[in-house]
Amino acid sequence: MDTPYAITINGKRVPTSTTRAAINPATEKAICLFPLATREHLDQAVVAAQESFSIWRDRPLEERQALVAKLGDLISENRESFIRLLITEQGKGRAGAEWEIGGSIHWLHEIAKQSLPSEVIVDKGEEQIVTRYTPIGVIGGITPWNFPLLLAVWKIAPALVAGNTMVLKPSPYTPLCTLWFGELAQTVLPPGVLNVISGGDELGQWMTEHPGIGKISFTGSTVTGRKVMSSASVNLKRLTLELGGNDPAIVLPDVDPKKIAKDLFWASFANSSQFCVACKRLYIHEDVYDAVAHELVEYAKTVTVGDGLTDGVELGPIQNRMQYDKVLNLLQDCRDRGQRFLIGGEASASPGYFIPVSLVDNPPEDSRVVVEEAFGPVLPLLKYRDIDDVIRRANNSPYGLAASVWGKDVRSAEAIASRLEAGTVWINQIHTFSPDIAFGGHKQSGIGIENSLHGLAEYCNTQTLMRKPLAV
C-alpha cells in the first residue's frame, strides 16, 4: 500500500489523472487512492489485447498452461500480503481471506491442467470431420466486491488457457488485490495478454458496449446482469453471467438440531452473508423448528464479529455503505411489519459497516426478507409441514442459483433435491466448489457455466472442420 496503485495496459503501469479512495469497511477510513480509467484507457487496453491475441492463441497449449500455473505461484509467494490486503479492503475475517487467497492459488494451478480435446466425428482416412474449440478473442471480465480476487481468477484462468486475452475490471469497492495481481502478472505473461483497469460503473458499460471485446464474463447482481446482456447485444457478444440468488435450504424432521446448527449457521452467514450462494431462506420442518432455531441462536452467540485484522474475528462488516444501507432498510422493514427477531435486528452505532447476525422468526412468505436477496447477515427461518408445499415455496422465486437439503435419510433428501430448480443442489453440505465442478444458475440467476470443462468451453467458439480429397 506504500506504492501508488496503477492500471496495467500492455504490460506497463499506467497512471491516471483521476483517482478515488478505497475505504476500509471496518473503520470507514480511506486506505489509499486507486486509479479511475477513462474511455481512452479502455480503448488502449482493448487494442493491446487484440494485438497480443494472435500470438497468445498460437502459443502451444502446454506453454499457456504453464504460464497460468505460474500466476498461482505469484500469489503463493505473496500469500500473507494478499491476505492482509484482502481483509483490509473487503472486510472479511482472517479464515475467510485465507480461504479466498488459497482458492485463487488452487484454481490457477488446477485450471492450468485443463484442455478441450477435439471430437472426431468421422475418420475415413483422408475424409475427416472434426469438431474443435477455438478462442473467442478479447474477453472482458467484470468482477464483484464479495470475493474480488477469487472470482477474478475464475475468469482469468480459463480465458487464458483457452487462448484468449483479457481486459479485466474489478469492482470499485475492492480494486486493490486485483490491481496488484495485474501488475505481478506482467512478470509472467507477455504484454497485452492480461490488462487490468479500474473504474466506476460507467467503465463496465463501456466494456459491454465495446466492439473490440468478443465476450463479457460478469459476476454481480441480476439487475446489472440484465443491463450487461442488453448492452452486449450491440455486437452479439458471447456472455457468461453469474448473477444473484435467493437460495433455499430445507431441513428435514430427522436432523439432530444441536449437531446441525453450526453447518446451517455457516451455510447462511459465511462472509457475513455476502455470498451469492449463501442460504437465504431456511425452511425448517415444524417438528424441529423450535429446537433448530434455539440452537442457531446459541451458536450465533459464540461467533465474533469485528475487524478481520483482529485475532479471533470470524465475521466482518458489510463491504460498502451502499449495501450496508440496503440491509439496514431491510431490517427496518422487518420491524415496521412487526416481525420478531430471535437475535440481532439492530445495527451498532460504532464505526464500520457492522450488522449483527439477525434471525427473523417465521415471517410471512411474501415479506421482503423472504422475497429479496439480503446480501447481508439477515436470515428468515420459515416453518413448513408438507414436503410438496415446501418444494413449491422453495421454487417460487425468479432465482435459481443454488439450494441445499439437510436430513439423515439421504435418499429422501436426494428425492427432494432432484425437484429443486437450481443450478447446484447440495445434500448435507454446502459451498463445495472445485475447478472440476460445473457452477451456474437457472432462471434469472445467470447464463452459462463457470469451472469444469463446461466452463472452459464458455471461453471458446465451436468450430467444425470437414475435409475430403478432391475428386480426380
Known catalytic residues are 242, 276
Amino acid occupying residue 84: R
Query: Which positions ≥6 away from 369 have C-beta within 8 Å?
Result: 330, 333, 334, 339, 360, 363, 378, 380
Query: Residue 411: how many CB atoms within 10 A of its CB?
Result: 7
In 3D, which of 170, 166, 168, 217 has the Cα closest to residue 190? 166
Contact 97, 150 (CB under 8 A): no
* CA–CA dist 57, 55 (Å, integer): 6
Contact 327, 373 (CB under 8 A): no
Cα angle for residues 248, 441, 284 (degrees, 5° grid): 5
Residue tagged 466486491 (cell numbers): 145
Give backbone dihedrals phi and psi of 138, rounded to 5 degrees, phi first. -90, 125
Residue 11 CA, chain-centre distance (Å), reads 26
CB-based burial label for 19 (10 Å; 0-12, 13-18, 19+): middle
How far is Cα 151 from Cα 222, in angstroms, rounded to an integer? 16
Cell of 417: 433435491
What is the C-alpha to C-alpha distance for residues 326 and 309, in angstroms, rounded to an integer?
A: 25
Please identify which residue in the block is written with the cell numbers 499506467. Answer: 14
CA 387 – CA 291 distance, rounded (Å): 19
